[in-house]
Structure 1
Amino acid sequence: MRRLLLVGLLLLSATSCDESGDGPDADSGTVAGTLTPFRSNEQSSEGGVSRATHLPFGKGVLARLKEQLRGTKELRVRRAALEQTDPGLPIIPAPLGPPPLARIPQEDATIPGDVVVRFEESGVSPERVLSATALPGYRAVHKGYASEHLHLVGFEAEDGHAVTAGETRELVSRLAAVPGVRFTDRNLRMYKTAVPDDKGYGLQWHYPTINLPAAWDIESGADGVVVAVIDTGIVSHPDLNAHVVQGYDMIADPTNAGDGNGRDPNPLDEGGDEPQGGSSWHGSHVAGTVAAVTNNGTGVAGVAWNAQLLPVRVLGTKGGNSFDIAAAIAWATGGTVPGISQSPARAAKVVNMSLGGTAPPQALYQDAIDAAVARGAIIVVAAGNENVDASNSTPCNQENVICVGSTGLSGRRSSFSNYGARVDVVASGGEMREDLNGDGYADGVLSTVLDDNRQPAYAFSQGTSMASPHVAGVVALMAATAAKLTADLTSAQAESALKATATPIPAAQCTGGCGAGLINAQAALRRIQSTDPSLELPKLSVSTTTLFFQQSATQQLTLSNVGGNQGGNLVVTATVSGPQQSAVTFPGGSTKTVPAFGSTALDVAVNTAGLTDGDYVVTLNLVGSGAAGSATVALKIGVGSSSDLDAVVAFVWQDAVSGEWEAADEAITVARASRGYAYSLALAPRTYYVLATIDDDEDGELFEDGERTGFWRNIDSFEPLDVETGASTPNISFDLLPLAPIDDDPTLDVGASCGGDFDCPGGFCNTNFPGGYCSLVCNAAACPTGSKCYVVSTSGLKNCLDSCSREVGTGRGDCRSGYLCYSDGTGSGFCQPSCIGTGLSCSSPATCRSDGFCR
């Protein structure tokens, strides 16, 4: 028996014993869901925008899967046009998100062993903190500050067992009784949520929907207003740099920061935050919406044209935690964080947090938020992307914040957006399963990112993370408007003005509740100005000049009165003209009354029954009362085969021993367009991953560049699905977006399966582990993003090991199939094989436990 001595950490060793696992049960479980393919029937002539998803495989793995899937029949397809049309506007087919959609993992967010302690006294030394919080059976370490009162204490069990989330809750409860302590809390894992002449502005449909162009006639610059973007950090980008002021990297854990150190004054986004090692550039996308350099003839426009951006980095390669975020709130708004001597040149007036986690309201957050608001800050937070009530989404559920949900171009609540009483208002956040304005591009929010070569570019994304910075930017405009009136806008005033002027969204458009409704930027500024509406004539404005119908449907067009009510409110009359005008009706009536500085919705219905296959255009004519003006909207109607493309759904898995990806005929089905892309399939019990694609060019080759593709859970989160005997698993539903080119540059993926060193560029393959395990000697080299250096032998040899942050010490977490997430005592862990069914035994004195861990 050959053993690997991995001092104190790696508890598994290779053995000559052959222990094969059981085969799949003869019984089966059922999986069902509905796919939503991206639809568009024409290619845009402006902007050169691509919108895409990236597969979580390299070319080699994908080639093997495609060979296995090639025999699938009954495919009906069409070609999608995805060529980049304008090299001068490098909007690239990059990962679109968080995000395009970042959902919070559905497990306990507690970071095991971490306890936040809030002392009544300020400036308590680390020694006194540890003395006051000492508990028998535990070693404690002072891990940092979030303010002069807030401390983070980490606990490890003296007997070596991994502290669990439940155990951590008990520690929180026990320490709350310590004299001099105001409260204790858990540290929670958090995750990412005048018309300008900018070249990409015509693609930013999300600004007219909130009446922003009219607001710019009142205030566009927000000069001198500082907006803190507490997020993944910032990148160098010509559409951002002129507005970025010195920020801070508040990530205390070097393994999460990805920059080799803890907190420091460099808020650069290091990338590598996506599940497969890609980069979302989430913070930069958010920052571009708030205040991209605007009216400069290139790139995109920001909401607040001249606001200053204060980047504070709290989300790294493994997300973030509530303690670092609380410290960021304090620092950005002018509070004191012990250990950080540098302060912002000017404290932030507005704070945007497009992030969150699943938990009740946290005392830690509330303490930081209340202090920031007392200093004059206004805090805007994303509601979350889980399509659930936001009551358990934090920090949205805290007091003294403006919580923002998301809508699409239609004015409906986005399919992913959280909802409920905790949501204050909604704003444009996108709905990338749609192309309702018919410009050929998914209805996402367009903003600043880097491309795969880390060059400045632009991308569409969706989420409440994208809605929140719209509101933060509008609040900056409101603050600037108030300042010109020698007033200081307060948090309560900002929230009140936004709610009082929002356009209500009916229950049919927003099940669960969308707060006061969709923000109206112009009306909010008018309210700050206390403008008398009787002094201004009504003036008509519309949210878009094009609506696209791929089938019979009803859409909403937002009509706005960007003027007052001198002589009466604005009355708008709608008519249609064109050969197919009989296909269009107005279910809610063709005449609408719009109050001063307000908006209302016009329902536009199209019935394609009786129309032959083809493309049609009907003109919607809108005429305002008096001198309010008129507008036309092109109703583009597509009928026919462009929506009749079947999708192939494949359930694939990794072999527990070889690590190879596998597929089989019995794990493949077709989601038929004629049935609304619904599918159902009986499967042998196993852990699967679900992919789907449409063969858009009818050449029999699947997963080609440009073909609509997606996977469960969404295009930023490739998650496993456990199928159990006799169980039915519904709602395995996801979107299909055009597939971007596969970037297969050789980089070392620590922990990946391998058959030899050739599979591990720059590293080596540990073939003693099931399926092979790519690693790197790190005695004199840095480990790649997503891994960490550990001592693995008594000689001092160090190897890089794949990092994990979920189910640390308790389960598989985010490790590959057949591997478990071992705790390294710092709150994070490393991926190693299970000792059950893998042919490995535990190094003495550890023994193999029933959960597969060596202890």
Structure 2
Amino acid sequence: FYGYQWHYRLIGLPEAWNTTTGSSSVIVAVIDTGVALGHPDLAGQMVAGYDFVSSVTTSMDGNGIDPDPDDPGDSPGYGISSSFHGTHVAGTVAARTNNTTGVAGVAWNARIMPLRVLGRAGEGTDYDIAQAVRYAAGLSNDSGTLPAQRADVINMSLGGPGSSSVLANAVVAARQAGAIIVTAAGNESTSADNSFPGAITGVVNVSAVDQARSLAPYSNFGSTVAVCAPGGDLNADRDGDGLSDGVLSTIKKDDGRYNYAFYDGTSMACPHVAGVVALMKTVNPAMTPADFDQLLAGTHAETSVRIVDDLGISGRDTYFGYGLINAPNAIRAASEITGSTASDEPVLRVVPQDISLGSILTSASVTVSNVGGGTLSVTSVTANKTWISVSPTSGGEGTYGITVDRTGLADGVYSGSVTFVSNDGDATITVRMTVGSVTTTGGDVGTVYVLLVDPSTLEAYAQDETDASRNYQFSFDDVYADEYRLYAGSDLNDDGYIDDEGEAFGGYPVVSQTEILDIAADLDGLSFSVNYRINIQKPTLLGAINVPADAPAPRLKRLR
């Protein structure tokens, strides 16, 4: 599912991984709800941790603190599912990668120290969190034990109003011990200066941006924000791929199944930064918290490389801090302050890599930068469609304009690409647009085939054919009791598939997160929408594991 992790491309991780993917000697402590230790995409990625939830009432595992940081779930009941929040965070930091299954992690060769501090409904105390911080830093704590090796980085994707001296003192002590502490700024769209531990002096507080590198609508902001990273936005689809723009990572289900899901929040932005710090510690194990602070500010005496892309007003601001973390530059800067000579080979980076102009916008800009050494030369920039033009068509680092011309084009959805050729190689971005009004709500999209399919193979078991004359109502008779997924789409080109580019297509309840329907009796009231897609929307099967990364995406074929 790496192809759906747009958030990694936004901070330059593909370029960064050419230098390092982390090291097993670098440890990131994830202080959270615990981690689902049996998740196949986290196997072999962890060192010993601890459960510091001291309240038996909220612990969810029937006892107080213990050496088992496995996440038992945090559901408060009332039909509310567990979040497995810490598992999602851990997957972003260091999920196994290049293992033919699941997702990628930022620093996949680093190791995770799972520390559980949040129980039922995400409840926790400053005291328990402080004990976990002390444990992670190799300091005395209530467990009476110390880790074999302290954590290099501490991730705290948690927070709330009010501070305590016990937590503040633990943070100060951990920083003095050498740990770089990364925190989430909070999701209340208000001042981060009143959310702790993010507002404690000495931490690296992270706000969230969306796919367009704008402040996410939920993200807190304020003078305590030091840096930003992708947190996603589940209510947006800026790249027009039919999937919500969330951050994709590992989770678990309350029924015990291991899974993957899109989440959004500063909790998701935080581990992106923690993972990048782990990559930096790989090339510079001696890097201190003070070194990192100076690199963020651009004041380190040993390098001129900036480790952020400055967003908003020039310099530090209350929304983005110093800017969006830039993974390849961060690694380069960390290496340079050791006194080593960095490579003088240029590395091409183009941001963003997906442009969706909808039906109104006619232009956008992309930024070309060199995240390596030497001088970057762009020898040509070409589009593969006549309706796309680019200016300039050669040059170096800087801004390039992308313009589309809808003149003479029939109503529909269009997709093309622009390729940048440089002395480092090529980079291709996608450009999408709409001509006319092609998204219909409550209208007539022609004949739609509604498929009840096998949840794993997507093979159709039952089909109903419906249209506007039936108000798009559908039904299935004599269905065997079993598990299914529900999809619907048109087949305008009559090729038998309902998920081609330009088809009206949808899934229940939403196509980016289809649910498995356990049909044991009559079921009614299932309602969902189909919309014309700007590009081919492939079902993601996020509930499946062991899907080869290079396997063709599953297709939805109607019955004839």
Kindly report the root-mean-square deviation, in angstroms, between the aligned alpha carbons of the 2 structures. 3.4
Mapped to 1, the partners of 2:158 and 2:472 lie a distance apart of 42
Q: How does 1:52-63 map to 2 (within 5 A)?
A: none
> Structure 2 residue aligned with 1:579, among 372, 377, 386?
386
- The residue type equivalent to 1:335 in the other structure is L
Match of 2:263 in 1: 461
- Structure 1 residues 622 and 493: CA distance shift in structure 2, 3 A: same
Match of 2:370 in 1: 561
Are 1:533 and 1:563, in contact at CA under 8 Å, matched by a contact in 2? no
Residue number in structure 1 paired with 2:81: 278
Distance 1:282 1:221 in 2: 23
Distance 1:736 1:609, change over 3 A: farther
* Cα pair distance change 1:541/1:341, threshold 3 Å: same
Q: CA deviation at 1:618?
A: 3.6
For residue 213 of structure 1, what is the amino acid of its counterpart? P
- The verdict on how the C-alpha distance between 1:601 and 1:505 changes in structure 2, with shifts beyond 3 A counting, is farther
Residues 646 and 354 from structure 1, CA distance in 2 versus in 1: closer, same or farther, beyond 3 angstroms? farther
- Structure 2 unaligned segments of length 5 or more: list them: 299-306, 444-467, 476-484, 489-508, 521-560
Residue of structure 2 equivalent to 1:336: 140
Q: CA deviation at 1:203?
A: 2.1
Per-residue deviation, 1:532: 8.2
* CA shift in 2, pair 1:237/1:700, >3 Å: same
Cα 1:454–1:507, aligned 2, differ >3 Å: closer, same or farther? farther
Deviation string 1:728-781 (CA, Å, 9 cap, x unpaired) is: xxxxxxx988674377899xxxxxxxxxxxxxxxxxxxxxxxxxxxxxxxxxxx
1:619 corresponds in structure 2 to 417
CA distance 1:286–1:556, shift in 2 (3 Å): farther
Query: Is the 8 Å Cα contact of residues 579 and 618 (structure 1) preserved in structure 2?
Result: no
Q: Does the 8 A contact of 1:503 with 1:518 survive in 2? A: yes
TM-score for both structures, normalised by structure 1: 0.48
Secondary structure, aligned partner of 2:6: coil
1:821-840 superposed matches below 5 A: none
Q: Using the TM superposition, give the Cα deviation of residue 602 of structure 1 relative to its aligned residue in structure 2, in angstroms.
A: 4.9
Alignment-derived partner of residue 699 in structure 1: 472
Larger CA Rg, structure 1 vs 2: 1
Matched, 1:203 2:10: no
Change (3 A) 1:410 1:379: same
Instruction: Determine what percentage of the aligned residue pairs are the same residue.
Output: 39
Give yes or no for the alignment of 1:358 onto 2:358: no
Q: Match of 1:549, as an amino acid?
A: L
Q: Note if contact 1:231-1:315 (Cα within 8 Å) is conserved in structure 2.
A: yes
Matches of 2:105 and 2:342, distance apart in 1: 31
- Give the Å deviation of 1:534: 9.0
Residue 525 of structure 1 corresponds to: 331
CA distance in 2, matches of 1:517, 1:354: 19
Equivalent residue number for residue 183 of structure 2: 381
Aligned mate of 1:233, from 34, 38, 63: 34
Q: In 1, Cα distance between the equivalents of 2:189 and 2:510?
A: 18
Which residue type is aligned with residue 250 of structure 2? T
Measure the CA separation in 1 of the matches of 2:257 and 2:120: 20
2:347 to 539, 545, 548: 539
Residue 223 (structure 1) aligned to one of 21, 24, 39: 24
Shift of 1:519: 0.8
The separation in 1 between residues aligned to 2:517 and 2:155, in whole angstroms, is: 32
**Structure 2: distance between partners of 1:507 and 1:610:** 40
Q: How does 1:409-428 map to 2 (within 5 A)?
A: 409-428=211-230
- Going from structure 1 to structure 2, the CA distance change for 1:436 and 1:527 (only over 3 Å counts) comes to same
| Letter matched to residue 261 of structure 2 | A
Please give the alpha-carbon distance, in whole angstroms, between the structure 1 residues aligned to 2:324 and 2:2: 21
Q: Supply the AA of the counterpart residue of 2:430.
A: A
Distance 1:699 1:291 in 2: 45
Say if 1:607 and 1:232 are closer, same or farther in 2 by CA, change over 3 A.
farther
C-alpha distance in 2, partners of 1:616/1:472? 38
Q: 1:367 to 1:498 in 2, by over 3 A?
A: same
Structure 2 vs 1, CA of residues 464 and 539 (structure 1 numbering), >3 Å: closer, same or farther?
same
C-alpha distance after superposition, 1:399-429 (max 9, x if no partner):
1111111122222222222223211111122
Structure 1 pair 344–542 and aligned structure 2 pair: CA distance change class (3 A): same
Residue number among 304, 307, 313 corresponding to 2:116 in the alignment: 313
Inter-partner Cα distance in structure 1 for 2:196 and 2:101: 37
Structure 1 residues 742 and 426 mapped into 2: Cα distance closer, same or farther (>3 Å)?
same
Aligned mates of 1:244, 1:492 — CA distance in 2 = 27
**Residue 603 (structure 1) shift:** 5.7
| Partner Cα separation in structure 2 for residue 743 and residue 363 of structure 1 | 49
SS at 1:424's partner residue? strand
- How many angstroms does 1:450 deviate by? 1.8
Which residue identity lines up with residue 559 of structure 1 in the other structure? V
Deviation at 1:592, TM superposition (A): 7.2
What amino acid maps onto 1:504 in structure 2?
D
Report the alpha carbon displacement of residue 527 of structure 1 after superposing the two structures with TM.
1.0
CA displacement at 1:502 relative to structure 2:
0.4
8 Å Cα contact 1:499-1:517 kept in structure 2: no
> What letter is aligned with 1:247?
G
2:106 is aligned with 1:303: yes
2-structure distance, mates of 1:250, 1:559: 46
Q: Which runs of 5+ in 1 are unaligned?
A: 1-199, 595-599, 648-694, 708-734, 747-855
Shift in alpha-carbon separation, 1:580–1:457, aligned structure 2, 3 A: same
CA–CA distance in 1 between the matches of 2:135 and 2:519? 39
- Is contact 2:378–2:420 with CA below 8 Å preserved after alignment? no
Residue 284 of structure 2 aligns to a residue in which SS? helix
1:257-277 alpha-carbon deviations (Å, 9 max, x no partner):
111111111111111336743
Q: Which residue of 1 aligns with 2:277?
A: 475
Spell out the pairing of 1:39-118 with structure 2 (5 A cutoff): none
Q: Distance in 1 between matches of 2:148 and 2:424?
A: 46
Aligned mates of 2:407, 2:131 — CA distance in 1: 59
Matching residue within 432, 446, 455 for 1:636? 432
Cα–Cα, structure 1 residues 317 and 610, in superposed 2: closer, same or farther, change >3 Å?
farther
1:291 CA displacement: 0.8
CA distance, structure 2, for counterparts of residue 469 and residue 328 of structure 1: 17
Of the three residues 322, 327, 333, the one matched with 1:516 is 322
**Is the counterpart of residue 214 in structure 1 residue 23 in structure 2?**
no
Residue 227 and residue 539 in structure 1: after superposition, are their counterparts in 2 closer, same or farther (change >3 A)?
closer
